[in-house]
Amino acid sequence: MRVKSAFLIGLLVMLSVAVSAIAQEGHPLTGTWYGDFGPSPTKRNDLTVILNWDGKNVTGIINPGPDVVLVKVATLDSTINKWAVHFETDAKNKAGGLDHFVFDGKMQNPVAFNRSITGTYTCGTTKGDFKITRD
């Protein structure tokens, strides 16, 4: 059944990231980030990002659950005063195709346990902003 398999996939995916998601003093991107994104202040969508660092690459998932998507690319430029974050993902749209999302932001308070990332995103011709905070 579709619901059941989605649940199991979701569970497997969550298990694989569960342990690292609670770290806070390792790679600054590691962890679970909560927030939202949207084209305007009144049109918002939930954004939950779970990221992991393996020593070479940042990997992760967005919005765990039946609509979970994999992070395709995620990078951090930790140069002082930059702290630029970039990540991309593909999400299924209603027409059965893929929407490509690109997020670009800056990390605030990178050494604080509750650091945040704010920035903008594009998806095709849609533009908007996002903010996520590490729990």
3-class state of residue 109 by DSSP: coil
Among the listed ranges 75-83, 85-93, 94-102, 118-126, the one in contact with another protein (CB under 8 A) is 75-83
Count residues near another protein (CB under 8 A).
32
Q: How far apart are CA 77 and CA 79, in angstroms?
A: 6
Q: Which residue from 76, 87, 101, 121 is in contact with another protein, where contact means CB under 8 A?
A: 76
SS3 of the chain: helix, strand, coil, percent, to 5:
15, 50, 35
Least gap, CB of 97 to another protein (angstroms): 23
Is residue 127 within 8 Å of 121, Cβ to Cβ? yes
Least gap, CB of 41 to another protein (angstroms): 17
Q: Which residue from 36, 88, 90, 99 is in contact with another protein, where contact means CB under 8 A?
A: 36
* CA dist list (Å): 8 to 4, 18, 21, 31, 53: 6, 15, 19, 22, 24
Site string for another protein, 90-109 (x = CB under 8 A): --------------------
- Identify the residue whose tokens are 């390792």: 26
Residue 5 within binding range of another protein, rule CB under 8 A: no
Residue 80 within binding range of another protein, rule CB under 8 A: yes
